[in-house]
Amino acid sequence: MIASARGRTVVTLGTAQTLAWASSYYLPAILAAPMAHDLGVSTPTIFAAFSLALIVSAVLGPWAGRNIDRWGGRSVLTGTSLVFAAGLAALASARGPVGLFAAWVVLGIGMGSGLYEAAFAALVRVFGREARGSITGITLIAGFASTISWPLTAWLEIRFGWRGACWTWAALHLLIGLPLNASLPHRHIVATPVDSASAGELAAGTPAAGRAAALLAFVFAVTWFVSTAMAAHLPALLQAGGATLAAAVAVGALVGPAQVAGRLLEFGLLRRVHPLWSARVAALMHPVGACVFLSVGAPAGAAFALLHGAGNGILTIAKGTLPLVLFGPAGYGHRQGWLMVPARLAQALAPWMFGLWLDRFGADALRLSAILGGTVLVALMLLPPARSRLSR
For domain 2-182, the CATH superfamily is: MFS general substrate transporter like domains (1.20.1250.20)
- Mention the CATH class of domain 207-382: mainly alpha
pLDDT for 391: 44
Whole-Å CA distances, 10 to 119, 134, 141, 154, 260: 10, 6, 9, 28, 16
The residues, ordered by sequence, that sit 6+ positions from 375 with a Cβ below 8 Å of its Cβ are 218, 222
Residues in the chain: 392
List the chain domain ranges. 2-182, 207-382
Residue 61 near residue 341 (C-beta atoms within 8 A): yes
Evaluate whether 332 touches 321 at the Cβ level (below 8 Å): no
Q: 3-class SS at 298? A: helix
Of 99, 73, 96, 100, nearest in space to 17 by CA: 73
Report whether 301 contacts 247 (CB < 8 A). Answer: yes
CA gap 26, 353 in Å, rounded: 19
Tens of pLDDT along the chain (392 residues) come to 455 777 888 899 999 999 999 999 888 878 888 999 999 998 888 888 988 998 999 888 888 888 888 888 888 999 999 999 999 999 999 999 999 999 999 999 999 999 988 888 888 888 877 777 788 888 888 877 877 888 898 899 999 999 999 999 999 999 999 999 999 886 655 544 444 445 556 656 677 778 888 999 999 999 999 988 887 778 778 888 888 878 887 887 788 788 888 888 877 776 777 888 889 989 999 999 999 999 998 888 899 999 999 998 888 888 888 888 888 888 888 888 888 889 888 988 888 888 888 888 888 889 999 999 999 999 999 987 655 444 44
Say if residues 327 and 108 touch (Cβ distance below 8 Å).
no
Report the alpha-carbon distance of residue 147 to residue 163 in Å, rounded. Answer: 21
CA distances from 196 to 91, 325, 328, 354 (A): 46, 13, 9, 43
